[in-house]
Amino acid sequence: MKAFTKKIVLENGREFYGYGFGADREAINEIVFNTSMVGYQEIMSDPSYTDQMVVMTYPLIGNYGMADEDYETKTPTIGGMIVREYNDSPSNFRYTKTLNEVFEEHDIPAIWGVDTRTLTRIIRDEGSQKVLITDVATPRDEALRKLGEYVMPRDMVSRVSCKKRWMSRVPNHKYDVVAVDCGIKYNIIRLLNRVGCNVTVMPYNSTVEEIMAFHPDGLVLSNGPGNPEDVTPVIELVKQLRGRLPIFGICMGHQLISLAYGARTFKMKFGHRGANHPVKNLVTGKLEITSQNHSYAVDVDSLAGTGLTLTHVNLLDGTAEGVECAADRVFSMQYHPESASGPQDSAYLFKKFTKIMEEHKNA
């Protein structure tokens, strides 16, 4: 058995030894777990994982490499990854780089050989917590001191949001949409393009005047990392634009809409991260299998009196998965309808958005 090269130290004092890959550096992040069996490329390139160390519960990672077309952002900002077994010899005709090469390129540390089942149980039982990935020789006391002194950042959205607007156009488009970038995934833009939308992606701190200058038919609020209560520019934006434009919120966008209407959000014990979360549509009674990635949720009880109606609920824990204000033409989803885990269960939401924009144009 070869000697361990890296270890992770949890805030609770537990240590796990393994072998480093990716960037050879120390890092402190929030530790979370994802139960998806595939999709590690989409996970590592999802901006919502900024400053998070992701435990992959599926034991084999890296086996199909990385394909140029499958990234969710140009510059991945995930904090790191913890896996049971890493495969550095992919078998996939589409792959252009290995996961290790991409992690090295973007300075992202990772570790394999760890007992991810035990680690996941700790997170599930005790909740998300800080974790240090470090050299195997780092003394435990020193590691715990670093963890105790480290304060998790709260500026993640400002770091991952675009700095200048950019556009994604389609021929013979029907609608002009502005997407507010809190850490937007590329597939949201692709699916908006697919239903006939020209999309202008704008920074999270864009003003109402800057957005309305494009005469949009609708507004999309994207997913993003961190606490939604910290993203005050977008909350204020919703307050000013609700009723004036159709608005569609996804993940963090769902939380920001809820906050703008006066509801509350709270941090979950360990969040939802996976591709098989059952969600019930309370309007149709249908069940959707959804992809999710969030640490915060909307307090269902706080929706009373806000003008928002609960439209979708998570069948595992009863948390809010969708809200709507029909009078303002505003609706949002906590899950990711673009992630195709159903695989087509939630595609109707993008068509619903275009229908609402059509009604608004004809009103």
| Distance from C-alpha of 189 to C-alpha of 191, rounded to nearest angstrom | 6
Q: State residue 66 phi and psi, 5-degree precision.
A: -125, 130
Q: Is 251 among the catalytic positions?
A: yes
**In this structure, is the dihedral angle defined by the CA atoms of residues 75, 78, 82 and 83, taken in order, positive or negative?**
negative
Rounded to 5°, angle at Cα 39 from 37 and 45 = 140
Q: Which amino acid makes up residue 72?
A: E
Active site residue 338: yes
Amino acid at 360: H
User: Which of left, alpha, beta for 325 (phi over 0: left; psi -120 to 50: alpha)?
Assistant: beta
Give residue for tokens 């239903």: 195
Catalytic residue among 30, 42, 72, 338: 338
Annotation says 336 is catalytic: yes
Query: How many CB atoms lie under 10 A from the CB of residue 59?
Result: 11
3-state secondary structure of 107: coil
Alpha-carbon distance 203 to 164, whole Å?
6
Active site residue: 182, 197, 251, 325, which one?
251
Q: Which residues are catalytic?
A: 251, 336, 338
